[in-house]
Structures are given as C-alpha cells and as structure tokens.
Chains A and B, each alone.
Chain A
Amino acid sequence: MTDRVYRAAPPGALRIEPLGELTAIFDRRSMQTHLVVSPMPEILEAMGVDPCGAALLASRLAASFDFDGDDDVQPILAERLDELAAMGLVERA
C-alpha cells in the first residue's frame, strides 16, 4: 500500500477548542463545526506545514503515544487521515 500524503489546513483556517473528551473544530472556510475525539486533534497538531503521510505521522506521534512498535499503527493513521480528508480538515497533497 502506498502511503498517501496529506496537507494540513492553512494556518488560521481551523479554530480548535478542546471540550473535555471531545474536541470542537470550527472550519472558517466551510463554516462547519466538527466534533472529534482522540487521536484526531493529535494528528492535526502533528501534521505541520509540509505534506505528510501515515509513516511520518507515526514517527512524530510515537513520542506522545505508546505504540510499542505496533505494525498496525500506520494503517490506522492512514484511515484517520482519510476520514479527516473526508471532513475537509486536511487535503490530499
């Protein structure tokens, strides 16, 4: 499977507000409100400005999540990125 590469929303496009277990995200471009749970906010934060895929994300998130060298992490992150893209919060690079 090829590692699809995604680009984060431009700076200032999203307003992200943690509300306990949920995180509310207001997309200023679409005026839509999205409610997400972990690890979506962490993924968005780890994306940075340059395009990145699941492999790069896994290495960045390893610092804050205990992946334990789990091989399943990359496919899961790839799925989450795809879902974020469907919500319009990231886009295919």
Chain B
Amino acid sequence: MRHSTRIAVGPVQFRIGSDWAEPIAALERLYAGYPRDEARPADATVRLFAARPWRRRLRPSVHIGGDFIVPDALPLPLSMGLLAAEMGMNLQVALGWRRHMLLHASAVAKDGRALIMSGESGSGKSTLAALLGEKGGEGDWRLMGDEFTLIDPAAGDAFAFPRAVSLKNDAIAEVAAHVDPVRLGPLLAATPKGDIRHLIPRASAIAAMHEPARPALLLFPRFGGETAIEPMGEGEAFVRLTEASTNYVALGEAGFAALTRLVRETPAFGISYPDSAAGIALVEQLWAETAR
C-alpha cells in the first residue's frame, strides 16, 4: 500500500492502507486527537485498493479489502474513500473481533454507568448518542460510540468504541448546530447511505475511551410516531440483542452467558419519539427513573 496510517479506537488497533493519499489524509485529520502507538500490532487491517493497477489513474474507484472481504462490497468513487475506510473498519471489527461481545448499538455513559441503545439504521440511535454526548458541560454524558458497543464476556462491563460519529442526512444539521465546525469532517454528499458527515467526539470522550462502564439501561429506540415507552421483557431483549450482535454465534457459550446476564441485570425499554428533543427527554426520564 502506498499510503497508510494506524488508528486506535477503543481496544482496536487498525492499520489502514490505501492506494491513494486522500482517504488517509482525511482519516488522519479525523483521528488526530486519538492516542497513537505505532509499535502496537494491528488487530484489524483495512485496505483500500484499486481494482486494477491502471484504474488508479484512469477511473478512480475504491475497493474495500482487509482481513475479511465481503464479495459484494461495491466499489465506491474515490471521493468516498473516507466512507470506504469507515465501512472497512466496521467490517473488520464486526467480523473479526472476539475479545468482547459486539453489539450493533450506540452508547453513552455517566458516572461509570452505560446507557446502551440498539436499533436498525434510521432508529436514531446514533443521533441520540451524538446529541447526548454534546449535552451540558464536560462531565455530563460521555459518548462511548455511535455504532458498536463492546461487552466484556467475563465481567459484563461495556467498553467504548468511539470512532468518529457518522452523521447522516437530517442529523448533520441537527448536530452541527451544537458543535464547533472544527470537529466536523468533510460533507460526503449522495453516498449509497445518503449524505454523511463525521463528527469528532469530544476530547474527554476520546481520553476516557478505555474506561469501562456498567450497563445500566437498555433502550430500543424507534424514530417517528407518538412518544411512547414500552417496558421490554428479558426474553425479547435477549432475542433483539442476539440479532444486534455481530459475533454472538462465534463467541459460543461466553456470548450466551454475557447476553443472559446483560438482559437480566439491565432494565430494557422500547421507545418511540417524533423528534430528537422528545427522544432526549425520554432518555433522560428513563435514566432518572429506572437505570440501575
């Protein structure tokens, strides 16, 4: 690879190589505030490569590669190299990580306790986590991650994976209104996932990314419709989280034990909300009333 960089997000050390300089430069800007350890071996490797050597100049398109390859990963135009890098990083973690149970969920923490939000794309879990992470002053909510939450199978603690937050479509303007523009990446317009703009988490969230938090509340948000709260039984939370975990099956009994413990010890609710302000209010209410 002609260009490469190393990035540590939570417990994962990435090595990212690219045939082009631009995605690497963009990543280095987004992750400038993250700790760097050049000597540490990579846990996951992401490669952005040209399909054919001559394509690099002739018609640039980025292919995603790495330790695991999804056969139908689409080649993306070079302008979306940053998105390709992000997708590659997600892929390597989702498919390759074994030290923790991986939940496709966002999380924020307060006083050493974690609020974990799981939902499909479009549920608003990322936006809620990003907005909570920007709320109040330092020392309020700590953003743990907008995409993945890691659960230690032995102790049950949640660990952060605070990659740059991937804001999509309407969430871009909503979050941008609250943050210093210096913390925003370039606008990636009209990608296969819509418009995307990255938000660099607060320095305090990055500094605390190795600190575990005790799961205290599980929420399954659904954006749209009237405000509603539905208590969720342990069985349903278990089923939903097996679906939200990318490595549940691979972990075997350790994953089973971690998940049964998580749903038994953590109150769970499904929530619906018409807009982010209502969503934030619901989250704060449930946190105050029910978090363990």
Complex Cα distance, B260 from A67, in Å, reads: 32
Q: Which of A10-36 contact B (CB under 8 A)?
A: 15, 17, 19-24, 26, 28, 31, 33, 35
Residues of A within 8 A of B234 (CB): 19-20, 22
> How far is the CB of B174 from the nearest CB of chain A, in Å?
36
Given contacts A19-B234, A26-B253, is CB(A33)–CB(B242) below 8 Å? yes
Instruction: Report A-chain residues with C-beta under 8 Å of the C-beta of B238.
Output: 19, 22, 24, 35
SS class, residues of chain A in contact with chain B:
strand
Instruction: Count residues of A near B (Cβ-Cβ below 8 Å).
Output: 13
Categorize the interface residue count of chain B: 10 to 19
Closest residue of chain A to B251 (Cβ to Cβ) is A31
Best-buried of A20, A28, A35 by chain B (most CB within 10 Å)? A20
B252 close to chain A: CB less than 8 A: yes
Q: Is the interface of B mostly helix, strand, loop or mixed?
A: helix
**A15–B252 alpha-carbon span in the complex (Å):** 12
Do A19 and B233 have beta carbons less than 8 Å apart? Answer: yes
Interface string of A61-92 (1 = CB under 8 A from B): 00000000000000000000000000000000
Asked if residues B233 and A24 are in contact (CB atoms below 8 Å), the reply is no
Verify if B264 is at the interface (C-beta below 8 Å from A): yes
Shortest Cβ distance from residue B240 to the other chain A in the assembled complex, whole angstroms: 12
A19, B242: Cβ atoms under 8 Å? no
Specify which chain A residues have a CB less than 8 angstroms from the CB of B264 in the assembled complex.
Answer: 19
B: residues with CB less than 8 A from A are 233-236, 238-239, 242, 248-249, 252-253, 256-257, 260, 263-264
List the interface of chain A (C-beta within 8 A of B): 15, 17, 19-24, 26, 28, 31, 33, 35
Q: What 4 A-B pairs come out closest when comparing CB atoms?
A: A22-B235, A19-B234, A20-B233, A26-B256
Not counting A19-B263, A26-B256, a sample of 4 additional A-B residue pairs whose C-beta atoms are within 8 angstroms of each other reads A19-B235, A22-B234, A22-B235, A22-B238
